[in-house]
Amino acid sequence: MVAEVASSASVARTRFAVAQPARTVLAASAMSVTKETVARVANLARIALTEEELERLAPELDNIIGWVEQLGEVDTANVEPTTAVIPNTLRLREDVVTDGDCRDDVLANAPQAEHGFFAVPKVIE
Amino acid sequence: MSSYRIQGATGEWEVVIGLEVHAQVTSKAKLFSGASTAFGAEPNTQVSLVDAAMPGMLPVPNRECIRQAVRTGMALNAVINKWSRFDRKNYFYADLPQGYQISQLYHPLVGEGVIEVSLDEKDPEAEIKQIGVERIHVEQDAGKLMHDQHPTRSYVDLNRSGVALMEIVSRPDMRSPAEAGAYLTKLRSILRYVGSCDGNMDQGSMRADVNVSVRKPGEELGTRTETKNVNSVRFVMAAIEHEAMRQVDVLESGSKIVQETRLFDPDKGETRSMRSKEEAHDYRYFPDPDLLPLVLDDAFLDECRATLPELPDAKRRRYETDLGLPAYNAAVLTAEAETARWFEALLAESARIQKKGEAEVAKAASNWLISELFGALNRLGKDIEHSPVSPEQGAELLGLVADGTISGSIAKQVLEIMLETGDAPGKIVEDKGLKQTSDTGAIEAEIAKVLEANQDKVAEYRGGKDKLFGFFVGQTMKAMQGKANPQVVNELLKKALG
């Protein structure tokens, strides 16, 4: 048990090193969230925004990110990331079929279903 | 060592290849839900509300999927990370109801490993290359889309959605289509030995994303393209060959390679660009808040290690050193786990019947399996798993040859009858009266008739045409319906022709 804690702590530091570049990128862009950035993120999230919404959201998101970025001022080099607020580990399930066979439930909310399939607007590469 | 080079107008080009293999983990239930993974069910009947991404559903990992990925990593001598974590890979597509795939980017379950490939089929030790494996991570499969069932709709079947995959990522260590083919074949063999994936490429249990770039030998790596979802060893090799040639043409015409995703068209044998306007992918990975870090204890890892079988390389070397088999035989018998299992059953039973050590009966057993049984199965279009002849029956047949009850050529006939009827060889030999005879009186009588009927040839033989001896043996064996002991025939003929 002791060895385990030690190994997870060393891995946690590695994780931090890996995660660092992503944070840096975010911090850099946080200095100014442009309209283009908002449009790109909205597109990735499939959210349609009007020109006015883009105008309004850019400074709003900029403020939020700037606010969260204050956390970056804390030195966390030797702090293990919090993965859960109570000490807990991931539970694993046994390899037993216990679910499925509920096609009607699965398809119940589909805007369109045919022959047991979801039917969606044609998507072809 | 021969190296693969493409001859361009501007000189030689080297090909650099890396493979990302998606292997479906053998399990009864899905990675994060209790729905079945069985192949071929009615659409959407093996879908839980977790797989359909209904709000409020909580994924719980399947222990067996984690176990199989760990065992696979151990089989590749890879680092097993006792602490790993799941991340969300975000993108929108109709086959992905969650809007993200649960995968492992930052902390994969398995780290660096290695796969050893033999590049010389005849002598497996002659040319060996180590191909690095960068990582193995565990992730969810997506659903299946069907585009040809309706004029304006695509149909979505989520049965495959949430099935566990291992993504096995190689280093860009391969330099020819043959090396990539050998790597994929070896990886498939290991997965099947371990039992972590059935390796069934027809059913999509194993598929490869092929990364290819070209460069002038010794120069920096070129820009690569990724050809997605190639589903056979042959296609992987064809895709590499075509894609490398295409890149050489592009570069030599003064253009640049665009880093892009491509598709392989097996009918035309070529790759083509997958998206006209390649949107820069931004998956916005982040740790999945539904899942705590995965922490494995020593007991779990010990069990994974303890249940690993003898792997193909170790087995091949053991067959050579302990059983004294020729390198070629050892390689053929160990390439597939099922063949090795069959051979070992045949060997144990042969040794028991003949009251000899396994090493003493190994060579005859391996030769018979490779040339006689494989040949027969080939003709029947069956693989060894579905062989109509069992290892025990094979051993009985070999026993009959070894103790002189039947000759090798009669054994071939008996095998044919066994394949047809499923009868035991002893019974067939008894029923059809195929027992070899060493009855000198009966053989001598037939020899006398043969010599009588072929007096001209007898004269020629006595005049020095030694080669005719085989003719007399053949005639005598024919007259004896193949049942005469060949050694006795030889002796008696020599005497008669004097």
pLDDT (0 to 100) of residue A31: 53
Given a cut of 90, whether residue A94 has pLDDT beyond it is yes
pLDDT (0 to 100) of residue A25: 42
CA-CA distance, B52 to B62, in Å (whole number)? 17
CA-CA distance, B359 to B322, in Å (whole number)? 7
Class of domain B440-497: mainly alpha
**A8 touching B (Cβ < 8 Å):** yes
Mean pLDDT, range A34-46, rounded to an integer? 90
pLDDT (0 to 100) of residue A62: 93
Q: Does A15 sit within 8 Å of B92, measured CB to CB? A: no
pLDDT (0 to 100) of residue A26: 44
Q: Does A15 sit within 8 Å of B35, measured CB to CB? A: no
Question: Which range (B214-218, B347-351, B463-467) has the least confidence?
Answer: B463-467
pLDDT, tens digit, 9 for 90 and up, residues B53-87: 999 999 999 999 999 999 999 999 999 999 999 99
To test the contact with chain A by mutation, choose from B295, B300, B304 the residue with the greatest count of A C-beta atoms within 10 A, namely: B295
Residues of B in contact with A104 (CB under 8 A): none
pLDDT (0 to 100) of residue B440: 82
**A104 touching B (Cβ < 8 Å):** no
pLDDT band at A7 (very low <50, low <70, confident <90, very high): very low
To test the contact with chain A by mutation, choose from B37, B156, B276, B284 the residue with the greatest count of A C-beta atoms within 10 A, namely: B156
The helix or strand, by DSSP H or E, that contains position B421, with its residue range, turns out to be helix B408-421
Of B206, B161, B158, nearest to B23 by C-alpha is: B206
Shortest alpha-carbon distance between residue A33 and chain B (Å): 17
Q: What is the DSSP string of A48-98?
A: ---HHHHHHHHHHHHHHHHHHHGGGGS--TT-PPP--SS------B-S---
- Residue A82 or B39, more confident: B39
Given a cut of 50, whether residue B91 has pLDDT beyond it is yes
pLDDT (0 to 100) of residue B435: 84
ipTM: 0.81
Residues 6+ apart with CB under 8 A from A88: B292
Mean pLDDT, range B44-54, rounded to an integer? 97
pLDDT (0 to 100) of residue B300: 97
**A51 touching B (Cβ < 8 Å):** no
Distance of CA B302 to the CA centre of its chain: 28
Shortest alpha-carbon distance between residue A91 and chain B (Å): 7
CATH of domain A2-81: 1.10.20.60
pLDDT (0 to 100) of residue B443: 86
pLDDT, tens digit, 9 for 90 and up, residues B1-15: 468 999 999 999 999
pLDDT, tens digit, 9 for 90 and up, residues B407-449: 888 899 999 999 999 899 999 998 888 888 777 888 888 898 9
CA dist B419 → B375, B412, B433, B443 (Å): 12, 11, 18, 31
Helix (H/G/I), strand (E/B), else coil: B273 = strand
pLDDT, tens digit, 9 for 90 and up, residues B286-308: 999 999 999 999 999 999 999 99
To test the contact with chain A by mutation, choose from B58, B68, B83 the residue with the greatest count of A C-beta atoms within 10 A, namely: B83
Cβ pair B270, B242 in contact under 8 A: yes
Given a cut of 90, whether residue B116 has pLDDT beyond it is yes
Given a cut of 70, whether residue B252 has pLDDT beyond it is yes
pLDDT (0 to 100) of residue A29: 43
Residues of B in contact with A83 (CB under 8 A): 292-293
Shortest alpha-carbon distance between residue A55 and chain B (Å): 23
- Residue A14 or B269, more confident: B269
Rounded to the nearest integer, the mean pLDDT of chain B is 93
Nearest chain B alpha carbon to A44: B91
Given a cut of 50, whether residue B128 has pLDDT beyond it is yes
CA torsion, ordered B262, B266, B270, B275, to nearest 10 deg = -20
Structural domain spans, chain B: 10-303, 310-431, 440-497
Residues of A in contact with B152 (CB under 8 A): 121-122
pLDDT (0 to 100) of residue B279: 57
Token pair, residue B293, equals: 């870090």
Residues of A in contact with B157 (CB under 8 A): 117
Shortest alpha-carbon distance between residue B157 and chain A (Å): 6
Given a cut of 80, whether residue B272 has pLDDT beyond it is yes
pLDDT (0 to 100) of residue B67: 98
Q: What is the largest CA-CA distance in chain B?
A: 98
pLDDT (0 to 100) of residue B407: 83
Structural domain spans, chain A: 2-81
Mean pLDDT, range B138-156, rounded to an integer? 94
Q: Does B43 sit within 8 Å of A95, measured CB to CB? A: no
- Residue A58 or B125, more confident: A58
